[in-house]
Protein backbone atom coordinates (compact mmCIF):
# COMPACT_ATOMS: atom_id res chain seq x y z
CA UNK A 1 0.00 0.00 0.00
CA UNK A 2 1.28 3.48 -0.82
CA UNK A 3 2.42 5.43 2.24
CA UNK A 4 0.66 8.75 2.52
CA UNK A 5 2.17 11.93 3.80
CA UNK A 6 0.42 13.43 6.83
CA UNK A 7 -0.31 16.59 4.81
CA UNK A 8 -2.38 14.54 2.31
CA UNK A 9 -5.11 14.49 4.93
CA UNK A 10 -5.15 18.24 5.55
CA UNK A 11 -7.64 20.32 3.61
CA UNK A 12 -6.15 22.36 0.76
CA UNK A 13 -8.23 25.07 -0.88
CA UNK A 14 -7.60 27.61 -3.59
CA UNK A 15 -9.15 30.99 -4.10
CA UNK A 16 -8.49 34.34 -5.73
CA UNK A 17 -6.08 36.61 -3.92
CA UNK A 18 -7.60 39.71 -2.36
CA UNK A 19 -6.08 42.90 -1.02
CA UNK A 20 -6.54 41.58 2.51
CA UNK A 21 -4.08 38.73 1.75
CA UNK A 22 -1.18 41.05 0.95
CA UNK A 23 0.27 41.38 4.50
CA UNK A 24 0.29 37.58 4.86
CA UNK A 25 1.86 37.13 1.41
CA UNK A 26 4.49 39.66 2.35
CA UNK A 27 5.26 37.70 5.47
CA UNK A 28 5.68 34.35 3.71
CA UNK A 29 7.11 35.23 0.30
CA UNK A 30 10.87 34.74 1.05
CA UNK A 31 11.48 34.70 -2.70
CA UNK A 32 14.97 36.20 -2.96
CA UNK A 33 15.35 38.17 -6.15
CA UNK A 34 11.73 37.75 -7.11
CA UNK A 35 10.63 39.80 -4.10
CA UNK A 36 7.35 41.64 -4.74
CA UNK A 37 6.39 44.89 -3.06
CA UNK A 38 2.88 45.43 -1.70
CA UNK A 39 2.27 47.68 -4.72
CA UNK A 40 3.22 44.88 -7.09
CA UNK A 41 0.79 42.44 -5.45
CA UNK A 42 -1.90 45.10 -5.59
CA UNK A 43 -1.23 45.87 -9.27
CA UNK A 44 -1.45 42.20 -10.21
CA UNK A 45 -4.72 41.72 -8.34
CA UNK A 46 -6.26 44.55 -10.37
CA UNK A 47 -4.95 43.36 -13.74
CA UNK A 48 -7.48 41.38 -15.78
CA UNK A 49 -4.78 39.36 -17.54
CA UNK A 50 -3.29 38.30 -14.27
CA UNK A 51 -4.66 35.33 -12.28
CA UNK A 52 -3.54 35.43 -8.67
CA UNK A 53 -4.37 32.47 -6.49
CA UNK A 54 -3.66 31.64 -2.89
CA UNK A 55 -3.55 28.13 -1.49
CA UNK A 56 -4.86 27.57 2.01
CA UNK A 57 -4.14 24.70 4.32
CA UNK A 58 -6.79 24.38 6.97
CA UNK A 59 -7.78 27.98 6.21
CA UNK A 60 -4.27 29.44 6.56
CA UNK A 61 -2.70 31.04 3.47
CA UNK A 62 0.47 29.03 2.80
CA UNK A 63 1.26 29.80 -0.83
CA UNK A 64 0.66 32.01 -3.83
CA UNK A 65 0.97 31.91 -7.60
CA UNK A 66 0.52 34.49 -10.34
CA UNK A 67 -0.23 33.46 -13.90
CA UNK A 68 -0.72 35.72 -16.89
CA UNK A 69 -2.85 34.38 -19.68
CA UNK A 70 -2.55 36.06 -23.05
CA UNK A 71 -4.26 34.28 -25.92
CA UNK A 72 -2.78 30.78 -26.17
CA UNK A 73 0.12 31.38 -23.80
CA UNK A 74 0.17 31.33 -20.02
CA UNK A 75 3.15 32.78 -18.19
CA UNK A 76 3.90 31.92 -14.58
CA UNK A 77 5.17 35.15 -13.01
CA UNK A 78 5.46 33.99 -9.44
CA UNK A 79 4.98 30.97 -7.20
CA UNK A 80 5.98 30.43 -3.62
CA UNK A 81 5.12 28.39 -0.56
CA UNK A 82 5.67 29.59 3.01
CA UNK A 83 9.09 28.27 4.15
CA UNK A 84 7.71 26.20 7.02
CA UNK A 85 5.15 24.47 4.75
CA UNK A 86 7.50 23.35 2.00
CA UNK A 87 8.06 19.72 0.93
CA UNK A 88 4.42 18.87 1.64
CA UNK A 89 3.24 18.84 -1.98
CA UNK A 90 1.68 22.29 -1.68
CA UNK A 91 3.80 23.75 -4.50
CA UNK A 92 2.78 20.78 -6.67
CA UNK A 93 -0.89 21.29 -5.85
CA UNK A 94 -0.55 24.96 -6.74
CA UNK A 95 1.10 24.12 -10.07
CA UNK A 96 -1.71 21.66 -10.89
CA UNK A 97 -4.25 24.33 -10.03
CA UNK A 98 -2.56 27.01 -12.17
CA UNK A 99 -2.18 24.65 -15.12
CA UNK A 100 -5.88 23.86 -14.75
CA UNK A 101 -6.69 27.56 -14.94
CA UNK A 102 -4.53 27.95 -18.05
CA UNK A 103 -6.29 25.04 -19.74
CA UNK A 104 -9.69 26.35 -18.71
CA UNK A 105 -8.87 29.69 -20.38
CA UNK A 106 -7.83 27.88 -23.58
CA UNK A 107 -4.09 28.44 -23.26
CA UNK A 108 -2.03 25.75 -24.95
CA UNK A 109 1.28 26.28 -23.27
CA UNK A 110 2.77 27.39 -20.02
CA UNK A 111 6.04 29.32 -19.83
CA UNK A 112 8.20 30.32 -16.89
CA UNK A 113 11.66 31.48 -15.97
CA UNK A 114 13.68 29.96 -13.18
CA UNK A 115 17.06 30.88 -11.80
CA UNK A 116 19.77 28.41 -12.84
CA UNK A 117 20.68 28.09 -9.14
CA UNK A 118 17.14 27.26 -7.96
CA UNK A 119 17.24 23.48 -7.87
CA UNK A 120 14.06 22.94 -5.79
CA UNK A 121 11.95 24.88 -8.31
CA UNK A 122 13.65 23.21 -11.29
CA UNK A 123 12.88 19.78 -9.80
CA UNK A 124 9.27 20.80 -9.29
CA UNK A 125 8.94 21.96 -12.93
CA UNK A 126 10.71 18.88 -14.28
CA UNK A 127 8.24 16.72 -12.35
CA UNK A 128 5.47 18.59 -14.13
CA UNK A 129 6.86 17.86 -17.57
CA UNK A 130 8.41 21.26 -18.27
CA UNK A 131 11.37 21.37 -20.63
CA UNK A 132 14.18 23.90 -20.80
CA UNK A 133 13.82 25.83 -24.05
CA UNK A 134 16.33 28.66 -23.59
CA UNK A 135 18.71 30.52 -21.34
CA UNK A 136 18.62 34.21 -20.49
CA UNK A 137 22.16 35.08 -19.55
CA UNK A 138 22.60 37.18 -16.40
CA UNK A 139 18.83 37.66 -16.13
CA UNK A 140 19.06 37.58 -12.35
CA UNK A 141 21.71 39.26 -10.24
CA UNK A 142 22.72 35.82 -9.03
CA UNK A 143 23.00 34.31 -12.51
CA UNK A 144 21.18 33.03 -15.57
CA UNK A 145 17.51 32.29 -16.04
CA UNK A 146 16.34 29.09 -17.64
CA UNK A 147 13.24 29.51 -19.78
CA UNK A 148 10.97 26.47 -19.43
CA UNK A 149 7.90 25.43 -21.36
CA UNK A 150 5.13 22.88 -21.14
CA UNK A 151 2.70 22.60 -24.01
CA UNK A 152 -0.26 20.29 -24.36
CA UNK A 153 -1.35 20.90 -27.94
CA UNK A 154 0.66 21.91 -30.97
CA UNK A 155 0.01 25.52 -31.95
Ligand X SMILES: CC(C)(COP(=O)(O)OP(=O)(O)OC[C@H]1O[C@@H](n2cnc3c(N)ncnc32)[C@H](O)[C@@H]1OP(=O)(O)O)[C@@H](O)C(=O)NCCC(=O)NCCS
For residue 148, how far is the Cα from the chain centroid?
A: 13
Q: Is 125 a residue of the active site?
A: yes
CB of 20 to ligand X, least distance (A): 21
Using CB under 6 A as the binding rule, whether residue 90 contacts ligand X is answered as yes
| Contact flag: residue 121 with ligand X (CB under 6 A) | yes
Least Cα distance to 34 among 149, 124, 130, 145 occurs for: 145
119 binds ligand X (CB under 6 A): yes
Mask of contacts with ligand X, 25-64, x by CB under 6 A? ------x--x------------------------------
Options 12-20, 36-44, 117-125, 129-137: segment touching ligand X (CB under 6 A): 117-125
Q: Is residue 134 within the footprint of ligand X (CB under 6 A)?
A: no
Residues interacting with ligand X, by CB under 6 A?
Answer: 31, 34, 79-81, 86-92, 114, 118-121, 123-124, 127
**What residues are labeled active site?**
113, 125
Amino acid sequence: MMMRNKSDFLRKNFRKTTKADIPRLFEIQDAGENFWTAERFSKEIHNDLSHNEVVLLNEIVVGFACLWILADTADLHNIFVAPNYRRRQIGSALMTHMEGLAREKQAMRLLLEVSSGNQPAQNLYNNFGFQAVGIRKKYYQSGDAILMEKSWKSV
